[in-house]
Homo-oligomer: A and B are copies of this chain.
Amino acid sequence: MSPTRPVTLLTVAERAGVSKTTASDALRSSGRVSAETRALVLEAAEQLGYVPNGSARHLRRASTGAIGLHVPEVLTRSDYYMRFVFGVVEAAAAHDHDLTLITSGPSSRVPRVDGLILGDPLDGDPIVERLMRSGLPTVTGERFRGDGEADGVVVSDHAAMLGEMLDHLRERGAIRPALIVAGGETDWAAGIRRGYEEWCARHGAASVVGAVPFDVSYDETRAVARTLLAAEPRPDALICAPAGSAAQLQPVLSEAGLQAGTDLLLASCVEGPSMRAADPPVTAVDLHPREAGAACAELLFDILGGEAEPGTERVHPIELIIRESTRGNAPR
Q: Which residues of A contact B (CB under 8 A)?
A: 1-2, 51, 53-56, 58-59, 64, 66, 73, 75-76, 78-79, 81-83, 85-86, 89-90, 93-94, 98-101, 103, 105, 107, 109-112, 135, 218-219, 244, 248, 250-251, 273-274, 276-277, 279
Contacts and interface: CB of A to CB of B under 8 A. Distances in A.
Contact of A273 (B112, B218, B251): B218
B82 A94 contact: no
Contact of A66 (B86, B98, B279): B98
Given A55-B58, A75-B79, A100 B103 contact: no
A110 B75 CA distance: 30
Residue picked from A64, A109, A248, most chain B C-beta under 10 Å: A248
A75 B82 contact: yes
Contact of A54 (B64, B93, B250): B64
Contacts of A76: 273
A108 to B, nearest CB: 11
A268 to B, nearest CB: 14
Contacts of A89: 101, 103
30 contacts: A51-B109, A53-B59, A53-B112, A54-B64, A54-B112, A55-B58, A56-B59, A66-B98, A66-B100, A73-B86, A75-B79, A78-B82, A79-B79, A81-B82, A90-B105, A93-B105, A93-B107, A94-B105, A94-B107, A98-B100, A98-B111, A98-B112, A99-B100, A99-B101, A218-B273, A218-B276, A219-B277, A248-B274, A250-B250, A250-B279
B103 A86 contact: yes
A245 to B, nearest CB: 9
Contacts of A86: 73, 101, 103
Contacts of A82: 75, 78, 81-82
A276 B75 CA distance: 13
Contacts of A94: 105, 107
A107 B94 CA distance: 8
Contact of A93 (B56, B75, B103, B248): B103
Residue picked from A55, A78, A100, most chain B C-beta under 10 Å: A55
Contact of A244 (B53, B64, B111, B273): B273
A219 B279 CA distance: 12
10 smallest A-B Cβ distances: which pairs?
A1-B135, A55-B59, A218-B277, A55-B58, A78-B82, A98-B100, A251-B279, A55-B55, A89-B101, A89-B103
A101 to B, nearest CB: 5
Nearest to A134: B1
A66 B213 CA distance: 35
A110 B111 CA distance: 22
Contacts of A98: 66, 98, 100, 111-112
Given A54-B64, A93-B103, 17 more contacts: A1-B135, A2-B135, A51-B109, A51-B110, A51-B112, A55-B58, A66-B100, A76-B273, A89-B103, A94-B107, A98-B100, A98-B112, A99-B101, A100-B100, A218-B277, A248-B277, A250-B250
